[in-house]
Chains A and B, each alone.
Chain A
């Protein structure tokens, strides 16, 4: 039997366009210190010396201008002479890192494990245009297949938009307006999150008339690349008791799936089979039902790198039937108590998600997991949602054609008992 695993501390640095005053390993230090402080506020009495191992989520060597950035971070965090393992799974790096840190503790390899994600992309700089973003995108573009896809100018947005366009062809949604509602929701939720990079009140018109990126995605449909670090401290059940942790948040389900990275090889281009498989497996592990999940959880932090993908995730993660994602958010606009809105039936991305917070790739999924855990502690801050069932999920996707997907299910003490 695997050990039960709890998140006992959460540390998230602000998500910012650029930290001129910190390197990637200095950001990681800040997040670790915040997570230790949080664990101690949560009843533990620990320092970094008590952490037995580290799992690092760091996506891109070219961002960090450093291969094996984990080992340099390991030194700076004072974690020498203990095991540290790096995970790199594109945009889903955070979710996969949580999964492996879970395995580290569940297996008994460690009793107390640091799960940390970090990324600092905006040191990349494009001399032609005098800005960072085109060079950040260039550093990411090498994640596409170098032989068949990179030479076509394929990048994250054009890859995601292919799936969204195919979904639209099949179901007539998400429409551009329905995607705009995601942008309104997530930029709006970010206004309540002091750590978010892009808090904004936007309208459908603002989104529709923002700069075209790749048809039909506009600027405000897309997340911005961000710099940040996020850390979780994971402990097994015995350690939770021994340390006297007041509000442990139990990881009750973890699952991941890698679908075909060649979008053209998939049976249907408008489906992320990885999302469906990861969600079903994570819910099953947690004793929940794919068909009833919307009624079984209080909140979901989704991977909204692009507005249209959040809409499709509503369907793939089982919140609504296939083809009903677009209508779900549109019909519930300005109807408190419905849809994925902050006060809706299942709030999605109360933190602001990637569109609101920014996307600090390796840190993102760990931020989402940390946010979903803080919600269950009812300590999320101004974007706290109502907790009744005591269960939440975090979702990560990424990689070429968004081939990687991970879903994490969490529960507080009440959530463990409720049906």
Chain B
């Protein structure tokens, strides 16, 4: 060992797994999003709490929660603009993300915020936003995003997007 210069041996490797993952009890949310551009939340049959993201059981009451259609307008609770990110999202920077409380919901949903002018003042707390949908939907969260209310018409007129219901 002594005197011998250390030389590291590195190998290229990766881990990859394919899935056909079931959304289980949450499936209806994704089916309605894909087919009908609806945003479904759930409402506890006992306490009345609205869950968004939806869960079919209320974690507080241990009672079932019923599906309800949510409004597609809401308010930004908090946001940020991301300038440095993971290898999977590098091509998307800069991008906005926000916790949005849909009108009538009790919880805030994390979603992407798109804007023609993506600056902190445009996506600040209290800003009104509306949901815009991809024309080609897969039944995933990336099928929709939020835009500032005053940019809604601009976004739904782009060829790849459309307005909600």
Contacts and interface: CB of A to CB of B under 8 A. Distances in A.
B78 A169 contact: yes
A108 to B, nearest CB: 35
A201 interface: no
A418 to B, nearest CB: 42
B87 A65 contact: no
A147 B26 contact: yes
A400 B83 CA distance: 20
Interface string B147-165: 0000000000000000000
Nearest to A140: B86
A269 B92 CA distance: 25
Contact of A153 (B79, B85, B140): B85
B110 A137 contact: no
A271 to B, nearest CB: 12
Given A152-B110, A211-B84, A269-B99, A134 B120 contact: no
Given A65-B15, A149-B110, A126 B87 contact: yes
A145 B89 CA distance: 16
Contacts of B70: none
Contacts of A263: 99, 108, 110
Contacts of B99: 162, 263-264, 269
B79 to A, nearest CB: 7
Given A129-B87, A152-B112, A158-B97, A165 B15 contact: no
Nearest to B143: A151
Nearest to B105: A264
A126 B77 CA distance: 34
B124 to A, nearest CB: 8
A165 B53 CA distance: 22
A46 interface: no
A151 B77 contact: no
A242 interface: no
Contacts of A147: 23, 26, 53, 141
Interface in A127-157: 128-129, 134-135, 137-138, 140-141, 147-149, 151-155, 157
B82 interface: yes
Given A153-B92, A155-B85, A269-B108, A165 B80 contact: yes
A20 interface: yes
Interface string A147-185: 111011111011001110110010000000000000000
25 contacts: A62-B15, A126-B87, A134-B85, A135-B86, A147-B26, A148-B53, A151-B142, A152-B112, A153-B89, A153-B95, A154-B97, A157-B82, A162-B78, A162-B80, A165-B78, A165-B80, A166-B78, A213-B84, A214-B83, A215-B83, A216-B120, A264-B52, A264-B108, A269-B99, A269-B108
Given A153-B86, A165-B79, 11 more contacts: A62-B15, A135-B86, A137-B85, A137-B87, A147-B53, A148-B110, A153-B88, A165-B78, A211-B84, A262-B110, A264-B77
